[in-house]
Amino acid sequence: MSDGIHLTHYHQMIVKWLKEHVNWLKLVDFYPETETALPVPCAFFSVQDWERSEDQRMNGQLTVTLSCELLAVLGIAEDKYQLDIRNAAMALAIAVEGERFGLPVEPAVFSSAEPDAFNPELDDYAVWSIRFTQEIDIGKDEFQYTGVTPSTVKVGYVPKVGLNDQDSYEQVTDERT
């Protein structure tokens, strides 16, 4: 597999994926740590916590389940902002469900969406929290294969063995080609 995912790389890939696939967002960043007016609609991604996954790969890596949050942020100047923020939250929930975000991870699993009032820096905006989980492997894969992947497979039927008897083997071919 790999040497696992580094949390910084995970954050960067989620933000990159959101920028590329949810084009109506004017800003995508991690953790809402801004003191200036926000270009809305926007979203902030964060990893809330993680726990040991029930399914471990037994390869030296630790498989963890990340609890992730995506904050959808809209302005409150529009008359329909309550409906608009709910539609935005639903669109983001659909977008993240089943995604791997270009990483060697398990598909994201949408958990919930609800109004968010826990970020005082966003009190001037309508904010909804979209939560999802995702399993990732961290640490080094002790059994990672580093050799050459075979390109030809041969089989023998009661073969003679040795260098002089190579003709008694048949190459296995892919019938689809």
Q: pLDDT digits over 117-171, tens only?
A: 888 888 889 999 999 999 999 988 877 777 777 777 777 666 666 666 655 667 7
pLDDT value of residue 60: 85
pLDDT value of residue 1: 38
**Looking at the domain assignment, is residue 116 inside a domain?**
yes
Which H or E run contains 7? Answer: helix 7-21
**Looking at the domain assignment, is residue 167 inside a domain?**
no
**Looking at the domain assignment, is residue 95 inside a domain?**
yes
pLDDT value of residue 97: 98
**Looking at the domain assignment, is residue 145 inside a domain?**
no
**Looking at the domain assignment, is residue 156 inside a domain?**
no
CB 32 within 8 A of CB 7: no
For 63-108, write each residue's pLDDT tens digit. 999 999 999 999 998 889 999 999 999 999 999 999 999 999 999 9
pLDDT value of residue 165: 65
**Looking at the domain assignment, is residue 161 inside a domain?**
no
**Looking at the domain assignment, is residue 72 inside a domain?**
yes
* Cα 166 to Cα 156: distance, rounded to the nearest angstrom: 9
Q: Which residue range forms the structural domain that includes residue 101?
A: 7-138
**Looking at the domain assignment, is residue 36 inside a domain?**
yes
For 14-61, write each residue's pLDDT tens digit. 999 999 999 999 999 998 877 788 999 999 999 999 999 999 988 888
pLDDT value of residue 3: 63
